[in-house]
């Protein structure tokens, strides 16, 4: 049996840097979590859920608001003491020492000397990447936390049935009978900004770029030049079309179309190859006969009834034998699913009474739309997210 000292020594040798692919990094991360669970006692786990995670979030958000991470990055992320952070930010040194100590105890930052802390890639990102820091803002405190706290009582009230009614779910229990998630987000400029940034972070950091999962030559080969190539439906800031341009920089101007609600697209600066087209996907698709209609983490927001309607309206705009629907979402494995997929599933349940879907769920949903069929489900081993390729056959 390997001794504790030897195990710790081996763990200290792990330094992925840039040597691992994303799939390898995720495999290693999940294996380390599994190893941690084997050595934790039930009380360790309960303490993490009941105290550590909760207090860590408030410590992080307080440090963000005090300007610690941005000021730290501006100083080149060099090791600093609590007193030095206080001089930079104007915050109380005793308070900062307590908050920083809590993060260092969890190896989010590194204590290199008594009351002196070195930065980490995570801490640097909080000071330089607005999308990452937005996760800890109103997205967490005003959207996620109230809904998560309500969920056990809501499930008990409905007799522990699987929620499927987007108009009468946990969100309405918290915010009122006639409220909707997206209206609530849009009603506050700060919430709207934090939500959009958080979705941008999710798209960049927690799911594989779609041209790395799907062979985009299937779209460019044989494409008709008199119509759009890719329509990104519900595409937010257009980050997925930018990823397509990274691989296909020679596409014609206007051949990529970004669609979302008007308030999302308002004031957006975008690559000239991309045309902005305000659109509500519960209304007929105005772009006809495109090569591909791309949905990235859109349909998981909706139970089957609404998701079917979105797909039906899209199918009406497609050219049989030419157009495709590409659905880029978590595809939940029925065996050994990733926590990234299951946490998304829990989030969809509490926010929308919807769900992440398995292969079989997607096949069932698509087969219910006349003229549509799944041609292939694309995925890379051990990575998050797959692409369901759907053809219009009649």
What angle, rounded to 10 degrees, do the helices at 22-39 and 339-352 form?
80
218's tokens? 């299937």
Which 3 state secondary structure label does DSSP give 81?
Answer: strand
Alpha helices in 13-144 (DSSP H): 22-39, 42-47, 53-65, 68-74, 82-89, 93-104, 121-128, 130-134, 138
Question: What are the Cα distances from residue 107, in Å, to 102, 122, 193?
Answer: 9, 10, 29
Query: Rounded distance, CA 41 to CA 44, Å?
Result: 5
Which of 248, 296, 300, 328 is labelled catalytic? 300
Which of 237, 239, 175 lies closest to 207 in space, CA to CA?
A: 239
354's tokens? 């919807």
Question: What are the Cα distances from residue 2, in Å, to 7, 9, 355?
Answer: 6, 11, 42
CB–CB of 224/322 below 8 Å?
Answer: yes
Query: Rounded distance, CA 330 to CA 348, Å?
Result: 12
Which of 55, 68, 66, 73 lies closest to 129 in space, CA to CA?
A: 73
Query: Rounded distance, CA 318 to CA 156, Å?
Result: 43
Q: How do strand 292-296 and strand 357-358 relate by DSSP bridges?
A: unpaired
Active site residue 263: no
Which of 176, 177, 196 lies closest to 185 in space, CA to CA?
A: 196
Tell me which H or E stretch contains 357. strand 357-358
Query: Rounded distance, CA 240 to CA 100, Å?
Result: 36
Which residues participate in catalysis according to the annotation?
300
């Amino acid at each position: 049996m390997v001794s504790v000292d030897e195990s710790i020594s081996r763990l200290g040798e792990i330094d992925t840097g840039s040597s691992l692919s994303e799939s390898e990094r995720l495999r290693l991360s999940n294996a380390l979590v599994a190893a941690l669970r084997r050595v934790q006692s039930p009380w360790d786990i309960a303490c993490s859920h009941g105290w550590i995670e909760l207090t860590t979030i408030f410590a992080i958000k307080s440090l963000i608001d005090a300007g610690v991470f941005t000021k730290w990055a501006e100083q080149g992320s060099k090791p600093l003491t609590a007193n030095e952070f206080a001089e930079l930010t104007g915050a109380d040194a005793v308070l900062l020492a307590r908050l920083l100590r809590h993060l260092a105890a969890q190896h989010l930052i590194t204590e290199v000397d008594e009351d002196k802390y070195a930065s980490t890639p995570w801490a640097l990102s909080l000071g330089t990447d607005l999308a990452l820091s937005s996760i800890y803002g109103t997205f967490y405190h005003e959207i996620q936390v109230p809904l998560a706290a309500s969920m056990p009582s809501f499930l008990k009230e409905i007799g522990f049935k699987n929620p499927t009614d987007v108009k009468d779910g946990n969100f309405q229990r918290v915010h009122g009978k006639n409220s909707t998630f997206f209206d609530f987000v849009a009603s506050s400029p700060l919430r709207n900004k934090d939500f959009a940034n958080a979705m941008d972070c999710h798209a960049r950091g927690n799911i594989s770029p779609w041209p790395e999962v799907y062979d985009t030559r299937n779209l460019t080969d044989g494409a008709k030049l008199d119509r759009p190539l890719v329509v990104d439906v519900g595409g937010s800031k257009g980050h997925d079309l930018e990823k397509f341009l990274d691989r296909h920089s020679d596409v014609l101007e206007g051949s990529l179309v970004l669609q979302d609600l008007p308030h999302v697209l308002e004031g957006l600066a975008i690559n000239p190859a991309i045309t902005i087209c305000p659109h509500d996907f519960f209304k007929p698709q105005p772009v006809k006969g495109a090569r591909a209609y791309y949905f990235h983490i859109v349909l998981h927001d909706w139970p089957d009834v609404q998701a079917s309607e979105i797909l039906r309206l899209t199918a009406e705009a497609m050219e049989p034998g030419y157009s495709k629907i590409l659905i880029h979402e978590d595809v939940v494995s029925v065996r050994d699913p990733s926590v990234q997929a299951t946490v998304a599933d829990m989030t969809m349940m509490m926010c929308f009474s919807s769900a992440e879907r398995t292969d079989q769920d997607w096949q069932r949903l698509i087969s219910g739309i006349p003229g549509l069929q799944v041609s292939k489900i694309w995925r890379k081993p051990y990575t998050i997210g797959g692409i369901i390729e759907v053809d219009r056959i009649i």
